Amino acid sequence: MPTIQTITSLWFDDQAKAAAEFYTAIFSNSKIVNITRYGEAGYEAHGKPAGTVMVVAFELDGQTFTALNGGPVFKFNEAISFQVNCDTQKDVDYYWEKLSAGGDDTAQQCGWLKDKYRVSWQIVPRILVELLSDTDAEKSQKAMTAMLQMQKIDINELKRATAA
C-alpha cells in the first residue's frame, strides 16, 4: 500500500503568504516550501489576477501545511484548532505572546487564543495533560478547576492548586 501524507490546508481570503510567513517566523525548523500563483486560466471561476498568490506550501517544525487564497467564502472558527504542547512556562509564554499578537483580545479560557488571522490555537503545558489524567480523581478535579479559571495556562498555579 502506498504511503499517504495528510496535509492541513488553511483557507484565507488573500492573506495566505502573510500567514505562512507569520507562522514560520514563530515555529523553529519551519520554512516556506513553495508558492503557486494563479494564471489566466480559470479567472472566471476564481476572479484572481494572473500572478496573484494561490497556494503557499509551508512546514512548521516538519509538519506540512498549505495556505490557499480562496477568497472570502469561508471563515475560521473554533471547530478546528491547533494545539501547541509545551514543556515549560517559558514556552507557554513564548507561543502565547507570538500567536496572540494582533489577534482576538476576547477573553478565552483553558489556554485558547485566536491569532490575527482568526485561527484558533490552544497552548498546553504537558503537565496539564498529566494532571488532568491523574489517577487521583481529587487531584485531577483540582487541575480542571484551576484550568477553567485561566486564560493562558500557568504551570506554577496548576502545581499550587493540585498540591493543596
Q: Do domains 8-69 and 81-163 have the same CATH topology?
A: no
Sheet holding 31-37, edge to edge: 8-12, 63-69, 53-60, 31-37
For domain 8-69, is the CATH number 3.30.720.100?
A: yes
Q: What is the mean pLDDT of residues 18-32?
A: 97
Asked if 149 contacts 109 with a C-beta cutoff of 8 angstroms, the reply is yes
- Which grid cell is 159? 502545581
- Which grid cell is 77? 472558527
pLDDT confidence of residue 106: 79
Of 75, 23, 16, whose CA–CA distance to 48 is shortest? Answer: 16
One-character DSSP codes across 38-72: --STTHHHH-PPTTSEEEEEEEETTEEEEEEE--T
What is the pLDDT of the chain when averaged over all its residues? 93
Q: What share of the chain in percent tops pLDDT 90?
A: 82
Q: Where are the domains of the chain?
A: 8-69, 81-163
**3-class secondary-structure state, position 26:** helix
Q: Which CATH class is domain 81-163?
A: alpha beta
Convert the pLDDT of each residue in 94-125 to its tens digit: 999 999 999 987 768 899 999 999 999 999 99
Of 118, 128, 152, 146, whose CA–CA distance to 12 is shortest? Answer: 118
Query: What backbone torsions phi and psi does residue 75 show, to the nearest 5 degrees?
Result: -125, 150
User: If you count them, how many residues does the chain have?
Assistant: 164
Query: Do β-strands 120-125 and 81-86 pair in parallel, antiparallel, or remain unpaired?
Result: parallel
Sheet holding 81-86, edge to edge: 81-86, 120-125, 112-114
